[in-house]
Amino acid sequence: MTFLAVVARGLIRRPVRTGLTLVGISIGIAAVVALVGMSRGFVASWAAGMKSRGTDIVVHNMRTSLTPKPFPAAARDRIVNLPGVNATCGILVELISIESSEIMIVSAREWGGFSWENLKLLSGRLPSDASERAVILGRTAAEVLTKKVGDTLQIETEEFAVVGIVDGGAVVEDGSVILALPLLQKIMGNEGMINAIDVRVTRGMSETEIQRLCAEINRLIPEARAQVAGEHVRASQGYRMINAMSWGTSLLAVLVGVLGVMNTMLMTVFERKQEICILLAIGWKRSRIVRMILWESAMLGLLGGIVGVALGVAGVSVMKNTPAIRGLLEPELSVGLMLTSVGIAVVVGVVSGLYPAWRSSRLTPSLALQG
């Protein structure tokens, strides 16, 4: 019998225990895949939304929250004529409950700004001017809210006509309620305020030149911060907190898997004490016994990791279509994340097997005679 056959037999001889251990590991790994994939997807989705609008730099006041704090709209005038600035657009974005949806992106844009240009009409029309009490819905938002052209939509205490359904070219854009800036400013009591400025730079600018432009904008607008589009979400304290919580929760679940594997391997050593002693008696080195136990625990980790990744992907597929999440983000399930998750599972298996392997190496051949 080969070494790997001995390892495999050690796992399959107690299928129920092995199966329960795999469940413990796989739940932890599924949590890693789902939670980290969702948090990374949040950043990627907002970055894609910026790209679809043709935004190169975002001027914002995002600190501890996921939406920026308001600052005076007049700040835009300080940068509009800077060399390298091709166009600007004042933005007021909020995450609020709208009718049947618990959370929805409401994006108010300066009338005539370039941030309207990416919206492709699927039905209806755009508002006629900045004062018309009308909204347009991204196609996903229209599905979530079950609205069509001609319906009315209530935002806080105000009602608006739905005049168009659009394709925004990105998940965040498609999941948004979009209207003219003055309308949302009045609803939220933020007249004359915005919480972001979309900046489009002159074509052909290098990354170094864009960074220098950000520095100049920061000098002129000290109450806000200019960053390359997409980086502003990743750098926010709110996102960092969510990311830390995702990893923390996931690793706590993985810790439960560690304890499960360790318990399984300790029981294995206890039950196979006579077998291990016989192997020592027929010439197996203690180092080989240690490797056998570690290989078994590593295989448990590998199998648990593969099952966990599959469960995580399935779970994310279900969660991203729930009304609470749909339209807010597209989970990022990269190959790198999956390989990292499986790698964590294997490491968990090996670490969990260290103490049982050490215990097995302390056995002596003479114990085989005790039955």
Dihedral in degrees, nearest 10, Cα atoms 255, 259, 261, 266: 160
The per-residue pLDDT for 349 is: 85
Average pLDDT, the chain: 83
C-alpha 91/C-alpha 111 separation (Å) is 10
Q: Which residues make Cβ contacts (< 8 Å) with residue 254, sequence separation at least 6? A: 25, 28, 29, 31, 32, 344, 345, 348
pLDDT attached to residue 219: 92
Coil, helix or strand for 13? Answer: coil
- Average pLDDT estimate for 21-29: 84
Cα 168 from Cα 156, distance rounded (Å): 24
Place of tokens 């029981």: 267
Burial class (CB in 10 A: 0-12, 13-18, 19+), 220: middle
> Reduced to 3 states, what is the DSSP secondary structure of residue 181?
helix
pLDDT of 333 reads: 82
Structure tokens at 349: 């298996």
Tokens of 169: 């070219």
- Per residue in 84-113, pLDDT (tens digit) is 999 999 999 888 888 878 888 899 999 989
Neighbours of 54 (CB within 10 A): 17
Half-sphere exposure (CA, 13 Å, Cβ side) for 129? 1
Name the pTM for this structure: 0.73
DSSP-derived letter for residue 327 is T
Which of 38-52, 147-161, 262-276, 327-341 tops mean pLDDT? Answer: 147-161
What backbone torsions phi and psi does residue 364 show, to the nearest 5 degrees? -120, 150
User: Two tokens at 152?
Assistant: 């009315």
In this structure, what are the phi and psi dihedrals at residue 44, rounded to the nearest 5 degrees?
-60, -40
| CB neighbour list of residue 135: distance below 8 Å, 6 or more residues apart | 127, 153, 155, 160, 161, 162, 163, 177, 178, 179
User: Quick one: which of 195, 304, 212 has its CA closest to 257?
Assistant: 304
180: Cβ contacts below 8 Å, ≥ 6 apart? 108, 109, 111, 127, 129, 130, 131, 132
SS3 364: coil
What is residue 17's predicted lDDT score, i.e. its pLDDT?
Answer: 76
8 Å CB contact between 50 and 58? yes
Give me the residue spans of the domains in the chain. Answer: 3-44+239-370, 55-228
Which amino acid is residue 227, in one-letter code?
A: Q
Q: Residues 136-191: pLDDT tens digits?
A: 999 988 988 899 999 999 998 889 999 999 998 888 888 899 999 999 999 988 89
Residue-level pLDDT at 160: 94
C-alpha 233/C-alpha 45 separation (Å) is 10
